[in-house]
Amino acid sequence: MSEDMRTVHIGGVPNDKQAAFFASTARYTAYGGARGGGKSWALRRKLVAMCLRYEGIRCLLMRRTLAELKANHVFPILREYGQVVRWHAGESAFIFANGSRIDCGYCDCDRDMLRYQGQEYDIIAIDEATQMTEQVFTVLKACLRGVGDYPRRMYLTCNPGGVGHAWVKRLFVDRVYRAGEDAEEYCFIPARVTDNPVLMRADPGYIKQLESLPPRMRDAWLYGHWDVFEGQFFPEFSEERHVFPEGSGGEAPTGNTTEAFISMDYGFDRLAALLIARGADGRLSVLSERCASGLTLREAARQVVSLCAGQAVRYVVASPDLWNRRQDSGLSGVAVMQSVPGMPPMRRADDRRVEGWRLLREYLHGEDGVPRLRISASCCELIECMKGLLCDPTRTEDASDHPHHLTHAPEALRYGVMSVPSLSEDSERQMEDFRFASRGDGIVWS
């Protein structure tokens, strides 16, 4: 085939889902769900087609590791389109005769992102996007720009699970958007293995292999379920069992409320504060939340005070690092927060991680099929973080600290459940001891 030919046969017949992927003109299109849906096949053809159609267009094809990139894309493209494209190993790029190119990249860790900052691409393709953090996606979105008269689009393929599960699910499956995100720019095309007749004919036993997997992995890989996946830290958490309708208050889940308290995880990067009611039966209800970023200690305390409105909040349990004195002022974080009018007495959290997660699981499991902890549907961040939190890869009884934005609300909840067992008949004496010990930090008690 000569290089000046205007028509190139791409090859292959797309199934219905692949055809929808090819036809999408959304700025961000994700194609994913179950394994075996033919996603990588479609992604390669989309990029080749765009390069052949638009002279001088620049594309980026991204995978987590270089080895995966070569095995899943570089070698297949050379095998299928070697007659119309040249591979430049030194540049890690496919070059077309019309000046178009596909740069091939990988991002196995945060420092790998540095090579893409400031770059410009017309088309960016991320294969297995759930294996990358939201920060990678954010950096690459900033690279989607240029001066040429080309479409600016990003294509993603994805399966449930992995470090990027939460942000992919939020944007493309749940369609929950933050300030600056336009819902009309996002399109999701669900994939199932049964959508791929080529694979079904070539390997009719593949479905049986998927059916034999452990339940969570089977549901994710065979059925494309996004609410349960291998590596999920709280597989027992479900909205059906643990979430109650917004506005029903604490009475329905807990019985008569005996007390309310705030459980808080504070950092300048993220505040997560939860209003929790404890019923006479010992059950807990998370009634509402305040989650925000970039707050000073005083601003965070004001958020907590607003969360207390209308509630007789007994105490605020918070991470122990707030009791450390700051070098600049000589005051601790708790001293600064307690100086805000209306801030309830603060209690140092028992921050043992494994023990805390175990106790939280006990609350989720409950007794006789009834959980001892439920969450208001208004607590959107806590619910999403409980579903997306991952297992630590080296310590399975602990939660991963990555991606970090998923950890704040669950850690606040962990502090909360760990504070409840200390509420015994001598809790008033414990509180008085705490108040006495805190007076030396400049706190004035009424």
Give the pLDDT band (50/70/90) at residue 9: low
Contact 113, 60 (CB under 8 A): no
d(CA 62, CA 98): 22
Mean pLDDT score, 141-154: 94
Contact 120, 56 (CB under 8 A): no
Q: What pLDDT was estimated at residue 429?
A: 41
Contact 61, 127 (CB under 8 A): yes
SS3 305: helix
Taking only the tens place, the pLDDT of each residue in 335-394 is: 999 999 999 999 999 999 999 999 999 999 998 889 999 999 999 999 989 998 999 988
Taking only the tens place, the pLDDT of each residue in 113-132 is: 888 988 999 999 999 999 99
**Residue 204: CB atoms within 10 Å:** 9
Give the pLDDT band (50/70/90) at residue 7: low
d(CA 333, CA 257): 30
Contact 165, 406 (CB under 8 A): no
Q: Tokens 């080296």 appear where? A: 394
Q: Any idea what the Cα angle at residue 237 is, between residues 294 and 222, rounded to 5°?
A: 105
Compute the mean pLDDT over every residue in the chain, rounded to the nearest whole number: 87
**Residue 275: CB atoms within 10 Å:** 25
Between 5 and 189, residue with greater pLDDT: 189
Contact 127, 66 (CB under 8 A): no
Task: Please return the burial class of 202, using the count of CB atoms within 10 Å of its CB with bins 0-12, 13-18 and 19+.
Answer: exposed
Q: What pLDDT was estimated at residue 248?
A: 53
Q: What pLDDT was estimated at residue 97?
A: 95
Q: Tokens 């006479």 appear where? A: 280
Q: What pLDDT was estimated at residue 255?
A: 56
Is residue 214 pLDDT above 80, yes or no?
no
d(CA 263, CA 287): 12
Domains of the chain and CATH, by start: 16-221 (3.40.50.300), 239-437 (3.30.420.280)
Mean pLDDT score, 246-254: 54
Q: Which two tokens stand for residue 167?
A: 């942000």
Handedness of CA 378, 379, 381, 387 (dihedral sign): negative
d(CA 343, CA 336): 10
d(CA 361, CA 342): 33
Q: What pLDDT was estimated at residue 436?
A: 37
Phi/psi of residue 291, each to 5°? Answer: -130, 125
First to last CA, the chain: 87
Tell me how far CA of residue 102 lies from CA of 10, 11, 138, 154, in angstroms. 16, 19, 20, 13
Residue type, 379: C
Is residue 327 pLDDT above 80, yes or no?
no
Q: What pLDDT was estimated at residue 8?
A: 64
**Residue 58: CB atoms within 10 Å:** 21
Phi/psi of residue 222, each to 5°? Answer: -90, -45
Of 171, 61, 73, the residue nearest 124 (C-alpha): 61
Minimum mean pLDDT among 195-204, 395-404, 405-414, 432-441: which range?
432-441
